[in-house]
Amino acid sequence: MSAETKLFLCLQDNYGVLVHDPARAAQAARQRAAGQWTIPTTIAEEKAANPFLRADVPAVAAAVGLAGKPAAEVFAEVRARKNKS
């Protein structure tokens, strides 16, 4: 499981924020287990699965304690949390 997927699952589990597509995560895990690439993908799938593309979503900002803050600040906090994971 990618670090981004783990981070999104943590946000969802700990804060009740729907920021992750469990079916896509399961599919990606199966692909990795089989030694397959998880790309190419679509922009829509990537936006649903990549926390760094969701910094402008109010629920994500709230989940990291930055409700109402600029997307750049939210992005930096999500990045910091990924770095700690």
Assess contact for 3 and 82: CB atoms under 8 A. yes
Cβ neighbours, 10 Å, residue 55: 21
Inform me whether the pLDDT recorded for 69 exceeds 80: yes
Q: Which residues contact 67 (CB under 8 A, 6 or more apart)?
A: 58, 61
pLDDT tens-digit map of 37-62: 887 778 887 776 677 888 898 888 88
Q: Is the pLDDT at 66 greater than 60, yes or no?
A: yes
Quote the pLDDT of residue 2: 66
Of 19-23, 70-74, 75-79, the least confident: 19-23
pLDDT digits (tens, 9 = 90+) for 10-40: 666 555 445 556 777 788 889 989 999 887 7
Name the residue range of residue 7's domain: 3-84
Nearest to 50 by CA among 65, 58, 60: 60
Give the pLDDT score at 12: 60
Instruction: Identify whether the C-beta of residue 65 lies closer than 8 Å to the C-beta of residue 14.
Output: no
Q: Which residue has the higher pLDDT, 68 or 7?
A: 68
**Total domains in the fold of the chain:** 1
